[in-house]
Structure 1
Amino acid sequence: MQFLKILFWCLLAFVAAVFTFGNWKWVPIQLFGNLVADVNLPLLMVAMFLLGFLPTLIYQRAARWRLKQRLTQAEQSLATLRANATPAEPIFAPEPKMPPAAVPSAVPPGVS
């Protein structure tokens, strides 16, 4: 499985390199005022990708961290409750036995 991961990343790097060499052009960007910045197209695309990806990644990591903290706190409180709990009565009570008078006898009454 590790070989497939390495193969995938190598293939992705190769595609990125081919894209970069095929699109190595200078792109003028109008900044505030009359300033113009000339930026390579691949660099501009990487910068825009990171500009959109990083806030999402940071939000996802923060939410995951927050959920881990809540889970740890819930596990600790559950362990505390289990340690302090008294043994509970059984949920199902044993079936009541019939009194001896209500038990039918094998011999009918009046016959000896």
Structure 2
Amino acid sequence: MQFVRTILWVLLLVGILAFSFGNWDKQIDVRIWPGIVWDTRVPALVVVSFLFGLVPMWLYHRGVHWRQSRRISALETATTKMTSPKTEARPAAPVRPENSERNRPPEPSNPVEPEPTPKS
């Protein structure tokens, strides 16, 4: 694909050069504003006009390409995070000291005395 693109740019350059050599002797007046006239040659006018049309569209194309590549990479990242196995460590159980007041079972409010066992 790069080869075809290079051929097209070379053909465009050859066409502009052929046009420039054929029309270099012709000079025209371009009125920019009333009172401002630009004396230029035809090939310069053609090249400047071509660039005025090409550069904004090229910048727009590069911006769209950049935005789409960012979207695609964000979606790929999200997809890999969704499909990767969960390897998150589980939180450790809190350590409870044995002689802590909170860990002791509550004592009954009315302790019952055990009955003595009869001796035989």
Q: Common fold, TM-score beyond 0.5?
A: yes
Match of 1:54 in 2: 55
Provide the alpha-carbon RMSD of the alignment. Answer: 2.9
Identity %: 32
Structure 2: distance between partners of 1:70 and 1:3: 29
Please state how far the C-alpha of 1:38 moved relative to its aligned partner: 0.3
| Cα-to-partner distance string for 1:31-64 (whole Å, 9 max, x where unaligned) | 2231211011101111011101111111111001
User: Could you tell me how far apart the structure 2 residues matched to 1:3 and 1:75 are?
Assistant: 30
**Correspondence 1:20 to 2:20:** yes
Of stretches 21-30 and 63-72 in structure 1, the one that deviates more from structure 2 is: 21-30
Higher percent of residues as helix: 1
1:79 CA drift (Å): 0.5
Q: CA offsets per residue over residues 4-51 of structure 1, 9 Å max, x none? A: 877765554443222111111111011223121101110111101110
TM-score under structure 1 normalisation? Answer: 0.63
Whether 2:35 is the aligned partner of 1:30: answer no
> What are the ranges of 5 or more consecutive residues in structure 1 without an aligned counterpart?
86-112
The residue aligned with 1:101 is none
Q: Which runs of 5+ in 2 are unaligned?
A: 87-120
* Normalised TM-score (structure 2): 0.59
- Note closer, same or farther for the CA distance 1:2–1:14 as it changes in structure 2 (3 Å cut): same
1:45 corresponding residue in structure 2: 46
